[in-house]
């Protein structure tokens, strides 16, 4: 049996137009033996029907109600077979080819956790409109706060592209169901005394009208999550 090196978790919610494209990109661009796990978070736009007709997916999970991105990632855990675990959004904002270099850092034993940073890319990310610029500013503020509480030096704490050695990923014992899973991960990585290596990645951001759903209350949840896991360690 061929050893699976990379498990790619793809949470999806109302991504009918992009889900088949991102799966095709993963299959075309990833150079390692891989496992693709797609979790549909109770989409209501026809995404489920598209997923059912895809033949190039290894595992599919359909949620019976909308639970959030964190919940979708947790639902994939029982199916993980790869030595490395990566998270891939279904919205075409991130290029799967970048996962190769992130996974390589772990394979070369340079780190146990690698993040793809949109900020380190020389090209400015996001769209040229107020909402996009405000979101960029908000991401910078949240990254600063995350670094402050977790004694980290990240440039992009809330990037989708988070890649882990399998053992480390399983140690995180994820609890959060929504976007707060991201600060939960960052804080728990810090508490495990693991260093996060960042590499620049390409990024093509969508705007609110195209599907971005992160709002101010999500930012507030992120801050409260950091405080919770940093100072209430029994919450693990």
**Which of the four pLDDT bands, split at 50, 70 and 90, describes residue 230?**
confident
CA distance 32 to 223: 36
For residue 151, being part of any structural domain is answered with: yes
| CB-count burial class (<10 Å; 0-12, 13-18, 19+) for 52 | exposed
pLDDT at 173 over 50: yes
Tally of domains in the chain: 1
Is residue 131 pLDDT above 50, yes or no?
Answer: no
Longest dimension (CA), the chain: 51
Q: Is residue 159 part of a domain?
A: yes
* In-domain check, residue 13: yes
Pairing of strands 34-40, 59-62: parallel
Question: pLDDT digits over 1-43, tens only?
Answer: 689 999 999 999 999 999 999 999 999 999 999 999 999 999 9
pLDDT score recorded for residue 105: 98
Strand pairing class (34-40; 84-87) = unpaired
Output the pLDDT for position 217.
74
CATH of the domain at 13: 3.90.550.10
40 by DSSP, 3-state: which? strand
In a domain, 40, yes or no: yes
pLDDT digit string, tens, across residues 98-125:
999 999 999 999 999 999 999 998 665 5
Mean predicted confidence (pLDDT) in 207-211 = 57
Could you list the residue range(s) of the whole structural domain that residue 65 is in?
Answer: 6-235
Does any domain span residue 1?
no
Contact in structure between 9 and 85 (CB atoms under 8 Å)? yes
pTM of the model: 0.90
| In-domain check, residue 209 | yes
Measured CA to CA, the distance from residue 88 to residue 12 in angstroms comes to 9
- Nearest 10 degrees: CA dihedral of 76, 57, 206, 172? 20
């Amino acid at each position: 049996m061929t050893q699976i090196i990379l498990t790619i978790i793809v949470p999806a919610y109302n991504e009918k137009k992009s889900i088949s494209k991102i799966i095709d990109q993963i299959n075309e661009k990833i150079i390692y033996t891989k496992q693709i796990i797609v979790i549909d978070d109770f989409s209501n736009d026809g995404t489920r029907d598209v997923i059912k007709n895809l033949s190039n997916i290894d595992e599919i999970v359909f949620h019976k109600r909308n639970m959030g991105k964190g919940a979708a990632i947790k639902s994939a855990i029982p199916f993980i077979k790869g030595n490395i675990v990566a998270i891939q959004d279904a919205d075409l904002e991130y290029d799967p080819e970048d996962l190769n270099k992130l996974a390589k850092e772990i394979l070369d034993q340079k780190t146990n956790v690698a993040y793809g940073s949109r900020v380190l890319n020389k090209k400015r990310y996001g769209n040229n409109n107020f909402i996009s610029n405000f979101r960029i500013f908000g991401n910078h503020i949240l990254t600063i706060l995350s670094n402050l509480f977790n004694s980290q030096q990240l440039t992009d704490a809330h990037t989708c592209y988070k890649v882990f050695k399998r053992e480390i990923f399983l140690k995180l014992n994820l609890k959060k169901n929504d976007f707060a899973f991201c600060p939960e991960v960052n804080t728990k990585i810090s508490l495990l005394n693991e260093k996060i290596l960042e590499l620049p990645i390409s990024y093509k951001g969508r705007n609110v009208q195209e599907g971005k759903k992160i709002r101010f209350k999500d930012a507030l949840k992120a801050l409260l999550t950091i405080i919770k896991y940093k100072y209430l360690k029994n919450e693990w």
